[in-house]
Amino acid sequence: MNCRRCTECEGRSHHWLEDPEAFDDQWRELPGEYACKHCDQRGEECPECGGDGGQWLDDDGADVALNCPCCKGEGVIPVGFFA
């Protein structure tokens, strides 16, 4: 599923916002450090890439711009009831 609600998240699974508790009380006590701006999905920082979405080393040790296989380049993975 791709989010198509706005140009900022076009082609991504969700429009992730960091620290949703800072903008609305409705998110308190829900899992995850991130929330989708357009739906109820929650997320947390990807454990594989540390939230940067990519930058892996190739076999020669050089940096290459690749999407993280865990989060597919978004830096956040879905968690909770809706995942």
Q: What is the pLDDT of residues 19-64, one digit of tens each?
A: 666 555 555 566 778 888 888 888 999 998 888 887 666 667 666 6
pLDDT in tens, 1-23: 556 668 888 888 889 988 666 55
Residue 3 forms part of a structural domain:
no
Tokens of 76: 């956040």
Supply the range of the domain harboring residue 74: 16-79
C-alpha distances (whole Å) from 52 to each of 4, 24, 46, 78 are 22, 25, 8, 15
**How far is it, in rounded angstroms, from Cα 15 to Cα 33?**
13
Residue 72 forms part of a structural domain:
yes
State the total domains in the chain. Answer: 1
The reported pLDDT for the residue numbered 77 is 93
Residue 5 forms part of a structural domain:
no
pTM of the model: 0.68
Residue 6 forms part of a structural domain:
no
The reported pLDDT for the residue numbered 18 is 85
**How far is it, in rounded angstroms, from Cα 16 to Cα 36?**
5
Confidence category of residue 76, pLDDT binned at 50, 70, 90:
very high
**How far is it, in rounded angstroms, from Cα 42 to Cα 36?**
6
